[in-house]
């Protein structure tokens, strides 16, 4: 098929590269000329394991192309994916201006029957807005088209594998023709098992929000349990084992930590709550999930203040991990931002290390914070630090040289925001060790 993907962020670029890998003639469109020029050289604007290799291979095989000319991408396409950003607006709702701008362009340049796919995470009812926007641009042109919803369920850090080997492909369409085209497009990715789930458009739009809200709820529930455990003297790590062994609960997303972040959970929980209120329902659970997560990001700074006092002006803290999760350079809504801002507001100096996200921190998220310094080795961050704070559980932090750590740190104090280690072992080897949800 001829595929056009508008938007080369996490979702759009992964989609385009993977469709091209399966032999589809794919054009990725973006307004950013610098980004497009880099992509034509095989350079990805984002870090995602395996992405650059497939990108370069598909581009060299001429199944993948990049352009800033949306007309070029739209006019020959059988299927057009809208994969632009839907940032959170001032009121918490999803901002659809970029989606609808693309819809206008599609209406202007579409030449024949096309399936238009909402791949961006959008509120229920967006497909109708996109359809109306395209119709308004078609004017007297007699061109048929369908708008379908195809939410993405990619995990950053594992997005290529998730796309090539999906556990489900959800598509919402209002007629059989569009549904059959989408099934045909995805069939090469489902040779072992047909994971295609067809439904109506609004249900598909809702499925994405419901999935992310459910996962965020599990995280916030466990973090709330961690706060209760700490106060009553229980150990959240043991509680996790006890409840995770129940097959109805399971172990996924019940690890306590210093709060979730990223481009999806914070934005989608708020957007879904906003939609609920728009239709006259008060989403008590969703609003509690968000509130708990916001509070959880302050737990580590509070533990640091309890240990060292409110005035941290003579203290230096090493930070391991800046991205919101491992295997990505994404820092959107990352816990590290809140934790570092809390500590530096009390006068602390931060020496930070992350395998991939340092550029993001320096150029955007923490660029104006003069009390944050960056190093390119995890042990270098420890030199003379009063304590270590682990925020992101990158694999290279899982088996560190504890003897070397003790030599480099001013004091053997370790605040673990991901509960990676056994507290008794850490005490035995000489660390003053603080965890989430443990007194």
Q: Would you state the pLDDT for residue 369?
A: 95
Q: Please tell me the distance from the alpha carbon of residue 439 to that of residue 437, in angstroms, as a whole number.
A: 7
Torsion over CA: 244, 249, 252, 253 (sign)? negative
Class of domain 2-199: alpha beta
Provide the β-strand partners of residue 433: 414
Torsion over CA: 332, 8, 36, 102 (sign)? negative
**297-435 has which fold?**
Rossmann fold (3.40.50)
Let me know: does 175 contact 198? Beta carbons within 8 Å: no
Domains 2-199 and 209-294 share a fold: no
Q: Please tell me the distance from the alpha carbon of residue 165 to that of residue 284, in angstroms, as a whole number.
A: 35
Let me know: does 420 contact 388? Beta carbons within 8 Å: no
- Of the residues 4, 15, 28, 264, only one is catalytic, namely 264
What's the distance, Cα to Cα, between the start and end of the chain in Å? 58
Q: Please tell me the distance from the alpha carbon of residue 260 to that of residue 427, in angstroms, as a whole number.
A: 28
Cα 128 to chain centroid distance, Å, stands at 26
Torsion over CA: 312, 313, 318, 324 (sign)? positive
Class of domain 209-294: mainly alpha
- 229 in catalytic set: no
Q: Would you state the pLDDT for residue 48?
A: 92
Nearest CA to 150 out of 102, 112, 113, 116 is that of 116
Q: Spell out, as residue ranges, where the chain has pLDDT lower than 70.
A: none
Residues 6+ apart with CB under 8 A from 270: 88, 92, 93, 290
Domain limits, the chain: 2-199, 209-294, 297-435
CB neighbours of residue 285 within 10 Å: 13
Strand order in the sheet with 432-435: 372-374, 349-353, 316-320, 387-390, 413-416, 432-435
Q: Would you state the pLDDT for residue 87?
A: 85
Nearest CA to 16 out of 154, 131, 143, 126 is that of 154
The angle that helices 126-138 and 97-109 make with each other, rounded to 10 degrees, is: 40
Q: Please tell me the distance from the alpha carbon of residue 433 to that of residue 405, in angstroms, as a whole number.
A: 13
Q: Please tell me the distance from the alpha carbon of residue 138 to that of residue 124, in angstroms, as a whole number.
A: 24
Q: Tokens in use for 44?
A: 């990805």
Residue 245: phi, psi to the nearest 5?
Answer: -70, -15
Q: Would you state the pLDDT for residue 431?
A: 97
Torsion over CA: 173, 177, 182, 187 (sign)? positive
Nearest CA to 304 out of 434, 125, 182, 122 is that of 434
Strands 372-374 vs 196-199: parallel, antiparallel or unpaired: unpaired
């Amino acid at each position: 098929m001829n595929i056009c993907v508008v938007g080369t962020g996490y979702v759009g670029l992964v989609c385009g590269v993977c469709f091209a890998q399966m032999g589809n003639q794919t054009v990725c469109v973006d307004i950013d000329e610098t980004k497009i020029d880099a992509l034509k050289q095989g350079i990805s604007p984002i870090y995602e394991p395996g992405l650059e290799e497939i990108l370069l291979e598909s581009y060299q095989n001429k199944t993948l192309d990049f352009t800033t000319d949306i007309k070029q991408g739209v006019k020959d396409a059988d299927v057009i994916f809208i994969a632009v950003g839907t940032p959170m607006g001032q009121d918490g709702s999803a901002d659809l201006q970029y989606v609808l701008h693309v819809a206008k362009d599609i209406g202007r340049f579409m030449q024949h029957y096309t399936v238009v796919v909402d791949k961006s995470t959008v509120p229920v009812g967006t497909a109708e807005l996109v359809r109306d926007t395209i119709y308004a641009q078609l004017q007297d042109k007699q061109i048929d088209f369908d708008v379908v919803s195809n939410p993405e369920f990619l995990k950053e850090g594992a997005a290529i594998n998730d796309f090539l080997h999906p556990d489900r492909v959800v598509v919402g369409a209002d007629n059989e023709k569009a549904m059959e085209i989408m099934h045909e497009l995805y069939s090469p990715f489902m040779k072992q098992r047909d994971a295609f789930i067809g439904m109506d458009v609004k249900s598909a739009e809702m499925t994405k929000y419901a999935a992310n809200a459910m996962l965020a709820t599990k995280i916030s529930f466990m973090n709330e349990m961690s706060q209760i455990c700490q106060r009553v003297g229980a150990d959240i790590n043991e509680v996790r084992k006890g409840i995770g062994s129940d097959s109805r609960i399971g172990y996924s997303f019940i690890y306590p930590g210093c709060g979730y972040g990223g481009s999806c959970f914070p934005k989608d929980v708020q957007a879904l709550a906003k939609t609920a209120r728009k239709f006259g329902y008060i989403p008590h659970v969703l609003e509690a999930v968000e509130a708990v997560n916001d509070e959880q990001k302050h737990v580590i700074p509070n533990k640091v203040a309890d240990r060292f006092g409110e005035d941290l002006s003579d203290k230096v803290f090493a930070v391991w991990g800046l991205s919101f999760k491992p295997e990505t350079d994404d820092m959107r809504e990352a816990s590290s931002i809140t934790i570092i801002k809390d500590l530096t507001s009390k006068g602390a100096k931060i020496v930070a290390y992350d395998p991939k996200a340092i550029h993001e921190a320096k150029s955007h998220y923490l660029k104006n914070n003069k009390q944050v310094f960056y190093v390119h080795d995890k042990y270098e961050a420890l030199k003379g630090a009063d304590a270590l704070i682990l925020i992101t559980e990158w694999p290279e932090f899982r088996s560190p040289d504890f003897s070397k750590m003790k030599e480099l740190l001013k004091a053997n104090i370790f605040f673990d925001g991901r509960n990676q280690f056994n507290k008794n072992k850490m005490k035995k080897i000489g660390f003053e060790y603080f965890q989430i949800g443990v007194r």
